Amino acid sequence: MTLSGRAAIAGIGATEFSKESGRSELRLAAEACLAAIRDAGLAPADVDGLVTFTADVNSEIAVQRELGIPALRFFSRVDYGGGAACGTVAHAAMAVATGQADVVVCYRAFNERSGHRFGQASPSSRADSTGLEFSWHLPYGFATPAAWVAMHARRYMHEYGATSEDFGRVAVAMRRHAATNPAAWFHGRPITLEEHQASRWIVDPLHLLDCCQESDGGVAVVVTSAERARDLPHPPAVIQAAAQGTGPDQMMMFGYYSGDLAALPAMGNVGDTLWRQSGLTAADVQTAILYDHFTPFVLVQLEELGFCGRGEARDFIKDGGIELDGHLPVNPHGGQLGEAYIHGMNGITEGVRQIRGTAANQVADVRNVLVTAGTGVPTSGLVLSTG
Amino acid sequence: MHHELTALAERLTALGEQPAAPCPDPVNAAMIRNWTQALGDTGTWDDVAPPAMIQVWSMPGLGVPKQGSIADEPLRLLNASGYTGVVATNCEQTYDRYVKIGERLTSTMRFGGVAGPKKTAMGEGYFVTWYQSWYDENDERVAEMLFRVLKFQPRKRSAAAPKKSGKYPMQPAIGRDTQFYWDGVNAGELRIQRCADCGTLRHPPGPMCPSCHSVNRDFIVASGRGVVHSYVVHHHPPVPGRTPPYVVAVVELAEGVRVVGNVNGCPPDDVGIGMPVRLVFERMDDELVLPQWTPADAPDPVVEEPPEPEGRPIPLTPTFVIASALATRDFTPVHHDTALARAQGSKDIFLNILTTMGLVQRHALETVPGATLAGIAVRLGVPAYAGDTLTLTGERVDEHTLTVRGAVSLGDHVTATVRFKEDA
C-alpha cells in the first residue's frame, strides 16, 4: 500500500499578506480555513480533521470552535518550524487514505512581523532536549536563523566556489516573480543583483536581501480523497507523494557536528522518498516550490533533490535558470523572499494553483509540482500532480 | 525630527564662526595662581598661562547671564523630542601658542554638526559637536576647542542594557547530561564526552552512546587545539549582551569532534576556514565562563590585575572639587552644591571638565617635564565624584604623543591623548 494518489488538495485559502494584520492570529487562522473550505465547495460541517504546526499558537479546538465544526475525528501537529509545512499535508493525506478522516484542513496563521518575530535573538534556558540544543549556541550570540544558515553557506562557498552573487541570483529571481504576482508583498518591486550586493550585512556571508521578509498572514489547504476531490469545483491537486524526513545526527538548525555542512541530508532523504513514492524524477517536474527563507539553501536543495549535481547549483541557476523562462521555474509566486513568509504554507497553495492552471505567473503545461518545506531542520515535501 | 535637526545643523554650520562671549579679564597672574594652586599644579609658568586654562579666560563667571551657545537650538530641539539625557563625550583642545600675561583674548564659536541617531550604551542618541576658538588682539588664533555631547533618550529601566557587571543575558540551560561539561569549564577544562564502553567521542554530549547504546559515560579533556571549519560574522539584529560584529565558528578539534564558539582576539577579517585556533576561556559574568577560541599564534590575552598605577593618586576631597571648579570659573552648582547635585541624580558633587583638562595637562608635564603642549584630546568616561580618588597614568606612544588615563573607582573618568610640539 502506498499513499501516492490517494488524496488531493481540493481547496486553498489565505488572508492578505501584510506586515501588520491588525487582528488576532486565531482570526487569521479562521479566515484562512474558511476561505479554503469554501474554495473546495464545502462547508465547515464537512470538516472532520485539522492539522497545524507545533509552532502554531491556534489550537485545533480553537479553530474548530470559530468555524463551528461539529466534531473532529482527527487532529495532529507537525514540529520543527517551517519544516512542518508539507508534513501537515502528509498527515492529512494519511488520515484520509486510512479513513481516519474525510476532510482535513491544514493551516498556519501568525503575526510573525507585527508580533513575535523569528529573526530576533532571545535567550532561552529550557533544559529540555531542544533547550539543550540551543544552549550550545545561544551563549555565543549565535542566536538567529540567518546566522545558523550562514554557517552552512560559508562552508558551501568554500567547498564549491559559490559566491554571494550566486546567492543573489536566487533573490533576484524571487523578486522578479513577485513583481508580477499581485498577492505578493513585493509586487511591482523587482531588485537587481547590484542592489543585492549593496544591501547591508545581516550575518556575513548573508546580506539583507539573502534573507526572506517577515509577514503576518494565514494560509490553509483542504485535503480529501482524490476520488471526492474530482467531484468538487476545482481540478484536484493530487498528492502524488508526501514525505517527512530527518538526516543523521539531526538537530534543530545546528547540523554542524558531523558530516557535510554544504549539504542538507534531511532534504535528500525527503527527496528520495518523494521520487520513490511518486515514481517520478526531477526531470518530470515542470516547476518547483523550494523553501526560500535564505537564498543559499535554494542552491543546496536543487542538489539534494536531484535537479543538478553537488556543487553545480550555481551553474544551474545562472542566466535565469530558475526564473519563469528558465529550465526550472522555481517559486513562480515569488517565494517567501518575494510573496510572503507564511512558514512555507503559501508555497503549497502556489503548487495547487500551478496544477489548476490559475497562478499569477502560470508555468505552461504543468503536470507535476515539487513543493518543499523548511530547511536546516527536519523537513518535508510534496509532489502534486494533475488528474 | 531627524530632518528638522539635519536642516538646522546645515543652517548653523553654514553660519561659520560667530562671536562668542567676551573674555572679561586679560590673561593675568592672579587667576593663573588661583588655578595652579587649586589643581595642585607645581609647574613654573613665568609670563605665560597654562594652555589647558584657555577656556577659563572666556568663562562668564557667577551671576552673569549665560550667553547662548551656537549649539543651544539643536540641543533644545533634541530635548523636546525626548532626547533629554546629556553627557559630554569629547573635549579636544589645540594650542597654536601659549598666551602671555596681559593679552586680551576674544573668542568665537562655530557649529560642528550632528551625527545620529546612534545606538549607544546610554540609549539612542545624537552627537552634537561645536567649536570654540580664541584669538589675540591681532586676530591670530591662539587655540581651538572641539566640544561634543551626546543627547540621548534615557532608557526605560526594563530595556536597560545589561551591565557588564550584571548577569550575562544569553545563559545556557544545563541538564543532567550536560552538567559535567559546564563543571569542566569552571575547572578550566574543555571536556569531550567519551563512551565508557566503546570509547566513542561525542559532542554535543547525550545520555546514550549512539554507537553501542551504552549509558556509561566519561570524558576526556580536549587539548584545546583546533581549526576553523566554518564561521560567520554577526552584524544584525542586536543580540543581548553582544557587540557586533563578532565571529561565531564551528571549530574542528584535534580530537575529531566539532564545537561552536566565538573566535576572539583578532579582527573578523582575519578569520578563515582552516585557520588554526586554540582554546581560551572567557568570563561572561560572575558565574558563567565560556570556552572560546583565538588564533593559535595569538598571544595570551592580558588578563585581570590592573597594573599598579605609577601615577600619584589625587584624593578628590570636596575642597579639591569645589576649589578647582571655582578656579576654572565654572559656577555650575553640581560642582559645589552637594544637596543640589544629589537632587539631580548624582552621587555627589563631581569634577568639572575644565579641571579634568588641567589635570591631564598637569600629568603630561610631570611625565615629560619642559615639554610644550600642542593639544589635548580627551574622551570623557564616568564621573569623578567627591570622595573618590583619581589616579592618572601615562604611556608614551612616541616622541610627540602621550596617552593619559585617569581612573576612579567606577572606571575610566578620562582617556586622553596629549600631543607635544616638535621641541619636546
Domain ranges in chain B are 179-295, 307-424
Range(s) of the domain holding residue A286: 7-112+217-385
Segments in chain B below pLDDT 50:
157-163, 303-307, 424
CA distance B247 to B263: 6
Each residue of A152-188: pLDDT tens digit? 999 999 999 999 999 999 999 999 999 999 999 999 9
Run of H or E including A299 = helix A296-304
Are A123 and B242 a contacting pair at CB < 8 A? no
Q: How far is B150 from chain A (nearest CA, A)?
A: 26
Question: Which residue of chain A is at minimal alpha-carbon distance from B172?
Answer: A135
Helix (H, G, I), strand (E, B) or coil at B67: coil
User: Is A157 within a domain?
Assistant: no
Residue A121 has pLDDT above 80, yes or no: yes
Each residue of A202-232: pLDDT tens digit? 999 999 999 999 999 999 999 999 999 999 9
Are A204 and B240 a contacting pair at CB < 8 A? no
Q: Which residues, in sequence order, are bridge partners of residue B396? A: B402
Helix (H, G, I), strand (E, B) or coil at B92: strand
CATH number at residue A270: 3.40.47.10
From residue B74, give the alpha-carbon distance in Å to each of A114, A329, B14, B110: 33, 55, 14, 13
| pLDDT value at residue B160 | 39
CATH tag, B307-424: 3.10.129.10
The two beta strands, B123-135 and B106-120, are antiparallel
Count CB neighbours of A330 within 10 A. 26
CA distance A4 to A385: 10
Instruction: Give the closest residue to B231 by CA, choosing from A142, A282, A181, A374.
Output: A142
- Taking the CA atoms of residue B343, residue B344, residue B347 and residue B349 in that order, the dihedral angle to the nearest 10 degrees is -100
| pLDDT value at residue B254 | 96
| pLDDT value at residue B306 | 46
Interface test with A, best of B182, B235, B269, B288 (most A CBs within 10 A): B235
CA distance B178 to A143: 20
Q: Which of B171, B248, B257 lies closest to A142 in CB terms?
A: B248
| pLDDT value at residue B390 | 94
User: Is A282 within a domain?
Assistant: yes
User: Is A226 within a domain?
Assistant: yes
User: Is A50 within a domain?
Assistant: yes
Helix intervals (H) in B68-137 = 72-80
Question: Which residue of chain B is at minimal alpha-carbon distance from A145?
Answer: B237
Interface test with A, best of B230, B242, B246, B293 (most A CBs within 10 A): B230
Q: How far is A120 from chain B (nearest CA, A)?
A: 6
CA distance A380 to B224: 39
Are B236 and A150 a contacting pair at CB < 8 A? no
* Overall domain count for chain A: 1
Instruction: Give the closest residue to B319 by CA, choosing from B346, B355, B353.
Output: B355
Helix (H, G, I), strand (E, B) or coil at A1: coil
Are A123 and B169 a contacting pair at CB < 8 A? yes
Among this protein's residues, is A256 annotated catalytic?
no
Are A204 and B260 a contacting pair at CB < 8 A? no
Instruction: Give the closest residue to A171 by CA, choosing from A191, A152, A198.
Output: A191
Contact residues, chain A, for B250 at CB < 8 Å = 151, 155, 256, 261
Residue A57 has pLDDT above 50, yes or no: yes
Helix (H, G, I), strand (E, B) or coil at A233: coil
Question: Which residue of chain B is at minimal alpha-carbon distance from A211?
Answer: B236
User: Is A172 within a domain?
Assistant: no
Each residue of A235-290: pLDDT tens digit? 999 999 999 999 999 999 999 999 999 999 999 999 999 999 999 999 999 999 99
User: Is A119 within a domain?
Assistant: no
Cβ pair A96, A102 in contact under 8 A: yes
Q: Which of B173, B230, B237 lies closest to A135 in CB terms?
A: B173
The predicted model scores a pTM of: 0.68
Interface test with B, best of A120, A130, A134, A154 (most B CBs within 10 A): A154
| pLDDT value at residue B304 | 47
- The rounded percent of chain A whose pLDDT value lies above 70 is 100
Spatial neighbors of A59 by CB under 8 A, at least 6 apart, are: none
- Measured CA angle at B399 (ends B397, B401), to 5 deg: 45
- Where residue A352 falls among pLDDT bands split at 50, 70, 90? very high
User: Is A117 within a domain?
Assistant: no
Among this protein's residues, is A341 annotated catalytic?
yes
